[in-house]
Amino acid sequence: MKKPLQVMKFGGTSVGDAACIGRVAQIVRDASRQVPVVAVVSAMSGVTNRLIEAAIHAEAGDLERTGAAFAMLRKNHEAALRELIRSEDKRKSIAGRLDQIFAEGERLCKGTALLRELTPRTLDAISSLGERLSAPIVAGALQELAVASEAIEATELIVTDNSHGGAGPLMQRTRGCCEERVLPLLGQGVVPVITGFIGATTDGVLTTLGRGGSDYSATILGAALAADEVIIWTDVDGVMTADPRLVPEARTIPEISYLEASELAYFGAKVLHPKTLRAVQDAGIPVWIRNSFAPSRAGTKITPQGRSNGGGVKALTAIRDVALITVGGPGIVGAPDVVARTFSVTAEMRANLLLISQSSSQNDICFIVAGSDAQRTVEALRKEFSQDVAHEKVEHITVDPSIAIVAVVGENMRGVPGLAGRTFSALGRENVNVIAIAQGSSESNISFVVSEKDVKSALIAAHREFDLGARVPQEVTTSSVR
Ligand code: ADP
Ligand code: ASP
Ligand code: MG
């Protein structure tokens, strides 16, 4: 019988320093005694942010700050290496590899400074360095524990389109590369340690899958290798009923469906990259979220169907870095082209639309876009409607960046009357003003817009109303291998 293959992904905090990497190596060693394991690693925590900042300084011609950032990164990685690897020869060999990667980064930054231009392709190349640095260190830490291991850059494995900053995988080609490069290693009992976050086009140009994309790397590799499970190791106990940083009573959810987890991720639950479950959708591979700081805890199992918690609402989430744009005024009543023109502008601007709401009076069309898209979208709308504003057909086009979307999510909310009523009554009791509301016809998500300052109270009120802190049975369900 085929042994169950596990793909294990470790996020930034899980590989944040030598002590964390040591724990990761133990988790992988223990699992690899029972089943073949593929490890996928993020950059050490904070490193991708530092690299992006360095790239932006380079674009501004400030090579001094770029140099300072690289010096700091070099120090941190070398410190981890010193603590983890006892053999001097091995340490030197890994340090040599890190040197090459740093030299590449410095060359890329110098080129950027010279041209005063940071293209999406160069930004991808610079921001990929963190994963390329962490993978050899983690592989070295495994070798220290006598686990045969090899670091692999995912540019050899994950073939993508050329959408820099958010590339999508070409699965058939990816499968071919994985079968050729990874399966033989597994056959020899070697644990491949693969860089998360990155891939390469068919021409071999490095791409990234988007911020937080190592989760997606893990499921892409899981699907390509027909893994039995993907385990995403992070710094919390699993998918929780709300972000524990905002709602202290939040609890771990034992089992949740692909749809529910995707809705939560899409609406800001950082624990999972929004595209993660796309890759395993067809094969139905279960994805676990577990805590690398507390590996004895069961975590959350994400399955195609999920499991009911006995109520309609499963979890809450909030997305903060967004802006509310309103196009309106009494003059637009009965002017249907305003809607069409508004959304052709957002499409043209490639603005990421998160929520749309319009009342029947057509006084206002309001919608939410990602904060980074807001300014250029509003400028384009003002241009599109300049004549209408002059003739008072459109009265105002406004933008409010101090808002947030809160979403109430649960697949079993479908057809349960009263959930919206209970949500809004609970908010009312806490004096939280609701600015706009949307509910998709899938009925697995009620989203509403509140002022940024009210996010925490809104989450706490709804969490209490649906008794989410108590409802979740903390039973032990475990992955096939512990
Ligand atoms: P990693 O570095 O492992 O990828 P992230 O920081 O990307 O980890 O994601 C984990 C974080 O997601 C947690 O520390 C937690 O604060 C946040 N988070 C937001 N919403 C949720 C939720 N519903 N359940 C669990 N964690 C959540
Ligand atoms: N290191 C990348 C980021 O910070 C990818 C990841 O951690 O998932 O966005
Ligand atoms: Mg993450």
- Rounded to an integer, what distance in angstroms lies between the CA atom of residue 171 and that of residue 279? 9
Query: Which of the residue ranges 99-113, 301-315, 347-361 would you say has the lowest mean pLDDT?
Result: 347-361
Which ligand 2 atom is the nearest neighbour of the CA of 217?
A: 8
Percent of the chain with pLDDT over 70: 94
Q: Is the CB of 15 under 6 A from ligand 1?
A: no
Residue 334's pLDDT is 66
Query: For residue 71, what are the contacts with CB-CB under 8 A and spacing of at least 6?
Result: none
Which ligand 1 atom is the nearest neighbour of the CA of 234?
A: 3
Q: Could you tell me the distance, in angstroms and rounded to a whole number, from the CA of residue 166 to the centre of ligand 1?
A: 20
Percent of the chain with pLDDT over 90: 81
**pLDDT, the chain, mean:** 93
Nearest to 36 by CA among 8, 16, 66, 12: 8
Cβ atoms within 10 Å of 45's Cβ, excluding its own = 18
Whether the predicted pLDDT of 363 surpasses 50: yes
The tens digit of pLDDT for each residue in 138-160 reads: 999 999 999 999 999 999 999 99
Coil, strand or helix at 205: coil
Residue 333's pLDDT is 65
The tens digit of pLDDT for each residue in 393-413 reads: 778 899 999 999 999 999 888
User: CB-based burial of residue 22 (10 Å sphere; 0-12 exposed, 13-18 middle, 19+ buried)?
Assistant: middle
Which position has the token pair 């893994």? Answer: 227
- Rounded to an integer, what distance in angstroms lies between the CA atom of residue 178 and that of residue 239? 29
Q: How far apart are the first and last CA of the chain?
A: 19
pLDDT band at 415 (very low <50, low <70, confident <90, very high): confident
pLDDT band at 481 (very low <50, low <70, confident <90, very high): very low
Which ligand 1 atom is the nearest neighbour of the CA of 214?
A: 4
Residue 361's pLDDT is 61
- Rounded to an integer, what distance in angstroms lies between the CA atom of residue 202 and that of residue 197? 17
The CATH number of the domain covering residues in 6-235: 3.40.1160.10
Q: Provide mean pLDDT across the span 237-253.
A: 96
- Rounded to an integer, what distance in angstroms lies between the CA atom of residue 49 and that of residue 164? 17
R_g of the chain computed on alpha carbons: 24
| Segments making up each domain of the chain, as ranges | 6-235, 315-465
Q: Provide mean pLDDT across the span 162-166.
A: 96
Higher per-residue pLDDT: 252 or 442 = 252
Q: Provide mean pLDDT across the span 255-272.
A: 93
CB 324 within 8 Å of CB 403: yes
Q: Could you tell me the distance, in angstroms and rounded to a whole number, from the CA of residue 200 to the centre of ligand 3?
A: 21
The CATH number of the domain covering residues in 315-465: 3.30.2130.10
Whether the predicted pLDDT of 482 surpasses 50: no
CB 217 within 8 Å of CB 275: no
Q: Provide mean pLDDT across the span 321-333.
A: 83
pLDDT band at 390 (very low <50, low <70, confident <90, very high): confident
Region for residue 177 given its phi and psi (left: phi exceeds 0; alpha: psi -120 to 50; beta: otherwise): alpha
Cβ atoms within 10 Å of 282's Cβ, excluding its own = 9
Whether the predicted pLDDT of 315 surpasses 50: yes
Q: Provide mean pLDDT across the span 113-135.
A: 98
Q: Provide mean pLDDT across the span 238-265.
A: 95
Whether the predicted pLDDT of 473 surpasses 70: no
pLDDT band at 461 (very low <50, low <70, confident <90, very high): very high
Whether the full predicted model's pTM is greater than 0.75, yes or no, is yes
Q: Is the CB of 212 under 6 A from ligand 1?
A: yes
- Rounded to an integer, what distance in angstroms lies between the CA atom of residue 462 and that of residue 452? 16
- Rounded to an integer, what distance in angstroms lies between the CA atom of residue 436 and that of residue 93? 58
Residue 309's pLDDT is 84
Q: Is the CB of 131 under 6 A from ligand 1?
A: no
Query: Token pair for residue 338?
Result: 């305003």
CB 369 within 8 Å of CB 352: yes
pLDDT band at 68 (very low <50, low <70, confident <90, very high): very high
Q: Is the CB of 196 under 6 A from ligand 2?
A: yes
Q: Is the CB of 274 under 6 A from ligand 2?
A: no
pLDDT band at 475 (very low <50, low <70, confident <90, very high): very low
Residue 387's pLDDT is 85
Residue 406's pLDDT is 96
Whether the predicted pLDDT of 474 surpasses 50: no
Q: What is the dihedral of CA 176, 179, 181, 186, to 10 degrees?
A: 170
CB 182 within 8 Å of CB 38: yes
* Ligand positioned closest to the Cα atom of 196: 2
Q: Is the CB of 242 under 6 A from ligand 1?
A: yes
Q: Provide mean pLDDT across the span 296-325.
A: 93
Burial 446-465 (b: 16+ CB within 10 A, else e): bbbbbbeebbbebbbbbbbb
- Rounded to an integer, what distance in angstroms lies between the CA atom of residue 285 and that of residue 177? 20
Query: Which of the residue ranges 25-29, 117-121, 346-350 would you say has the lowest mean pLDDT?
Result: 346-350
pLDDT band at 439 (very low <50, low <70, confident <90, very high): confident
* Ligand positioned closest to the Cα atom of 269: 1
Whether the predicted pLDDT of 276 surpasses 80: yes
